[in-house]
Structure 1
Amino acid sequence: MSTFDILMRQLWSMWTGFIALLPNIAISVLLVILTALAARLCRRIAARLTQHAHIRESLKQLVDTVVSIAVWVVGLMIAATVVLPGLTPASLIAGLGIGTIAIGFAFQDFFQNFLAGILIMVRQKMRIGDVIECDGIVGRVEHISLRETHVRKLSNELTIVPNSTLFKNPVEILTDKPHRRHEIVVGVSYDTDLDRAADVIRSALEGLDVIEKDRRIDVFAKEFNASSVDFTVRWWAGSKPLDMHSSRDAVIRAVKSALDENGIEIPFPYVTNTFKEPLGIHRSSQDAPQGDEAAQSGLGA
């Protein structure tokens, strides 16, 4: 038997085997379609069950995703065993366990973001709508998925942040509470009575409506600056960025007006120049009075 005959016999054997598998392939394709329909139906059922539950929106999305993944895994395993009758669920799981090591190394960043997304959704802090600051990004959380988080910056740009970045780096949640503390630095001249200046600044803040009246107003002498004694002024107001800017604007205006009314100076920076040797002042001949003008000036004097 020639090599050509052997090759043709092998190709014919493969073709007949493929024809014999066509019913199984058709059944597996039907199972995949049914799996897709079942996954969609299960997601709807899960969404309906979690709709009335008092849980965060991110957890609802997590439940829907986990249910869909579970249905797809079961359906694909059944479809694979139909196409390959010798493949059992135990051998398939064992093969997946060995292949998972290689897949894990190849898609390390993907799975890292995936697991970080699950942990972010499960933890109670950082909800959708919170204003956060992380790794130089400041904005409002719009969407949390299993791989990434959408953060709308305060200037309206959208930043897509990998979940691993939010999980590994410190995240400041600026709107975790409805109010937070703000502060500014106010400088007064060195000849100012510091007790009086502190009372004037505190009285200016107490008359404002944009700050929390139930929280304490702090006015502390901070340091001796180059041309002023600096006070740290702290108050409580809304935690949103707009509340911060509004309250700071009102506080600065009120403090400036109160200090002006009481004759307390907010000094400009003073600069003192010292020289190693005395400087002589010489008048040039062009500036000196000449002739009759000099005499007249002398007589007039």
Structure 2
Amino acid sequence: MLAVDDPNLAETFLTRYDHQVSAAVTLVFTIGLVIVVNRLLGRIVARPGVRDVLDLHDPRVDTRLRIVRRLVVATIAVIGVAVALSQFTALDRLAASLLASGAIVAAVVGFAAQRSLGNVVAGILLAVAQPVRIGDLVTVEGETGTIEDMGLTYTVLRTGADARLMIPNERLASSIVRNDTIFSRSIVAEVSVWLPASADVDRALELVALEAGEGMTAQVVEMTPEGWVRLTVSGTACPAEERFAREAELRAGCLRRLRAGGLLADEGQESPHGGRSYTR
């Protein structure tokens, strides 16, 4: 019988790959914990009694709670990955050498904050300051829609065409935002009508005012050097979620009345935005 003199041959799989196994177990545990915590928080806030106690019907509370929930999940994931990586001695030596140089650490942190952490920081600031909230009707860089969701890095804007715009939080925080529902959930639908300066503007105002209804306004707000006049027509107040439908109805009604009154632009004459008479 041959004797085994080399002790390395007797090492078990777990002993030889203890760091890798520990890292894998840590990652699996972290993934499981993230899933459990995320679902648990979701179920807790979905309970009617909890929603009433926390006043989740308030957009401000709902917005903050969503950011906090995602921040908790992200923190657990980051800690779990860090613990898993710490199982490798080679990475420990690499980390020690990097930590020895403050300039390198500062450069790495600065680069990460500019690219990735910048959006996270902006998301937290948006949740605290709340210039926009879940359900608000806003206009950002010419795009109008309803805030559907706010994450740590991106905010989801649902447009009137039911499209979704993903806006980086850092960009949203630094942009000029028009929020139509920050103080009231009811808004006034408003559309613009472009007419050539040669048209009977007084007659046009009378026609569109009839479409807007009693107590509403129709006025001239702009005249371009190219000879175009812009009228704004304000309809009746409506809930924020009905704004797009109400504006579409008001826009179509204004066009019908102007067409019936013979006030559309002449053939071949284009508005500032293309086409003949233009509404938006």
Bin of the TM-score, shorter chain as denominator length = 0.5 to 0.7
Determine if the alignment matches structure 1 residue 178 to structure 2 residue 173.
no
Q: 1:186 to 1:96 in 2, by over 3 A?
A: farther
Determine if the alignment matches structure 1 residue 67 to structure 2 residue 76.
no
After superposition, the C-alpha distances for 1:103-122 in whole angstroms (9 at most, x for unaligned) are: 32332221112212223344
After superposition, the C-alpha distances for 1:266-299 in whole angstroms (9 at most, x for unaligned) are: 8969xxxxxxxxxxxxxxxxxxxxxxxxxxxxxx
Alignment-derived partner of residue 4 in structure 1: none
TM-score relative to the length of structure 1:
0.53
Alpha-carbon distance between aligned partners in 1 of 2:265 and 2:71, rounded to the nearest angstrom: 63
Q: CA deviation at 1:221?
A: 9.7
TM-score relative to the length of structure 2:
0.56
The residue type paired with residue 108 of structure 2 is I
- Give the conservation status (yes or no) of the 8 Å contact 1:130–1:140: yes
Q: 1:83 to 1:64 in 2, by over 3 A?
A: same
Determine if the alignment matches structure 1 residue 251 to structure 2 residue 257.
no
Residue of 117, 120, 130 corresponding to 2:126: 120
The residue type paired with residue 251 of structure 1 is C
Structure 2 residue matching 1:146: 3-state secondary structure: coil
Q: CA deviation at 1:23?
A: 5.6
Task: Give the length in aligned residue pairs.
Answer: 234
Determine if the alignment matches structure 1 residue 235 to structure 2 residue 230.
no
Within a 5 Å distance, the mapping from 1:1-301 to structure 2 comes to 26=21, 29-51=24-46, 52=51, 53=54, 54=56, 56=59, 58-72=63-77, 75=80, 101-107=106-112, 108-128=114-134, 130=136, 132-152=138-158, 154=160, 158-173=164-179, 177-184=186-193, 197=202, 201-202=205-206, 204-205=207-208, 207-208=210-211, 211=212, 213=214, 215-219=215-219, 232=231, 234-237=233-236, 240-254=243-257, 257=260
What is the identity percentage for the equivalent residue pairs of Structure 1 and Structure 2? Answer: 15
Q: CA deviation at 1:168?
A: 1.3
Alpha-carbon distance between aligned partners in 2 of 1:145 and 1:256, rounded to the nearest angstrom: 46
Structure 2 residue matching 1:172: 3-state secondary structure: strand
Which ranges in structure 2 are unaligned for 5 or more consecutive residues?
1-6, 268-280
Structure 2 residue matching 1:178: 3-state secondary structure: strand
Q: 1:186 to 1:40 in 2, by over 3 A?
A: closer
The residue type paired with residue 66 of structure 1 is L
Higher relative contact order (CA 8 A, sep 6+): 2
Which ranges in structure 1 are unaligned for 5 or more consecutive residues?
1-11, 270-301
Alpha-carbon distance between aligned partners in 2 of 1:221 and 1:136, rounded to the nearest angstrom: 18
- Give the conservation status (yes or no) of the 8 Å contact 2:124–2:152: yes
Q: CA RMSD in A?
A: 5.0
Structure 1 residue matching 2:152: 3-state secondary structure: coil
Alpha-carbon distance between aligned partners in 1 of 2:246 and 2:254, rounded to the nearest angstrom: 12
- Give the conservation status (yes or no) of the 8 Å contact 1:201–1:255: no
Q: 1:20 to 1:163 in 2, by over 3 A?
A: same
After superposition, the C-alpha distances for 1:230-279 in whole angstroms (9 at most, x for unaligned) are: 7945423456334223212313433564x67xxxx88969xxxxxxxxxx
- Give the conservation status (yes or no) of the 8 Å contact 1:147–1:163: yes
Alignment-derived partner of residue 271 in structure 2: none
Alpha-carbon distance between aligned partners in 2 of 1:21 and 1:101, rounded to the nearest angstrom: 36
Alpha-carbon distance between aligned partners in 2 of 1:97 and 1:160, rounded to the nearest angstrom: 38
Q: 1:236 to 1:24 in 2, by over 3 A?
A: same
Q: 1:101 to 1:212 in 2, by over 3 A?
A: farther
